[in-house]
Amino acid sequence: MKKLLFGTVFWVLLSFLPGMIQAQVNISIGFPLPPPIVFAAPPAVIALPGTYAYAVPDVNVDIFFSDGWWWRPWQGRWYRSNHYDHGWSYYDRVPTFYRNVDPGWRRFYKGSNWHGKRWSYERIPVKRLHRNWQTWHNDRHWEKRGSWGVENYRPRLYREQPVYKEPRRYQQKPAVEHRQKKINQQKSHSPSKRKYEREDRRY
C-alpha cells in the first residue's frame, strides 16, 4: 500500500515538473541579464543610516546587500544574486529594503555628511559582511554602535521610517509590468489554485 501511494505521489509531482521548469525558463529568457562587474579586489560596503541595507560606494552602478542577497537595478528592472559581481537573476518587483534607501546616499557618502550631520561611516569588507549581517540585524547592531556613524543621529522607529519614492529609472518598465501581470493572472487561474480556494471555503 505504501509503495502504491509513493508511486502515485511521484508520478503526480513528475507531471507538474515540466510546467514549473517551463515557467521559470520563460521568466528568465524574457529579460536580458545585466553584465558582470569586474572588481580588482572584493569591494567594501557601507551601512546606510536608518536601515540594515548595505551599499557598494566605489563603483558607478548601484549594488546593494540586504537580507542575504546582493541586489542590482538595471534597465528598469531588479536583479539579485548570491554574489556581488555575477550570477544575477531577474526579480519581479522593487525589493522591500529599497523603500527606505535615501536616494541621496551616494552624495552624502562623498561629503561624509548625512543630512547636515557628520557621517563617519565604516567601510566593511565583504567577508565580514557575509559572516555577520544576520547577527547585526537581529541584535540591532548599528543603533547600539554609534548610530551608523552619524553624529547626533536619532534612529527612527520602523513605523516612522520615511519611504522614499524610487527614482524613475528604477521603476519597472511598462513591458515588464504587463508581462508580470500576465504571469500572475495565469497563476491565479491555475487548476491547483482553484482547488485550494475551494477547499479553503469549506472551513
For 35, the grid coordinates are 553584465
* pLDDT tier at 159, thresholds 50, 70, 90: very low
What's the rounded Cα separation, in Å, for the pair 97 and 80?
A: 13
Report residue 46: phi and psi, to 5°: -125, 145
Portion of the chain with pLDDT greater than 90, in percent: 55
What's the rounded Cα separation, in Å, for the pair 69 and 97?
A: 11
What is the mean pLDDT of the segment spanning 168-192? 54
Specify the range with the lowest mean pLDDT, choosing from 91-95, 164-168, 178-182.
164-168
Amino acid 184: pLDDT: 57
* pLDDT tier at 144, thresholds 50, 70, 90: confident
pTM of this prediction?
A: 0.67
Is pLDDT at 69 greater than 80 in this prediction? yes
pLDDT, averaged across the chain: 76
Amino acid 153: pLDDT: 86
pLDDT tens per residue, range 73-122 = 999 999 999 999 999 999 999 999 999 999 999 999 999 999 999 999 99
Give one DSSP letter per residue of 78-144, joined into a string: EEEESSSSS--EEESS--GGGGGS-TTHHHHHHHTEETTEEB----EEHHHHHHHHHHHHHHTHHHH
CA angle 37, 41, 43 (to 5 degrees): 70
Amino acid 147: pLDDT: 86
Is pLDDT at 143 greater than 50 in this prediction? yes
Amino acid 127: pLDDT: 96
Is the Cβ–Cβ distance between 63 and 126 less than 8 Å? Answer: no
Amino acid 191: pLDDT: 54
Give one DSSP letter per residue of 138-194, joined into a string: HHTHHHHTTGGGBTT--PPPGGG---PPPPGGGSPPHHHHHHHHHHHHHHHT-HHHH
Is pLDDT at 149 greater than 60 in this prediction? yes
pLDDT tens per residue, range 14-35 = 444 444 433 333 344 578 899 9
User: Which residues make beta-bridge pairs with 80?
Assistant: 71, 89
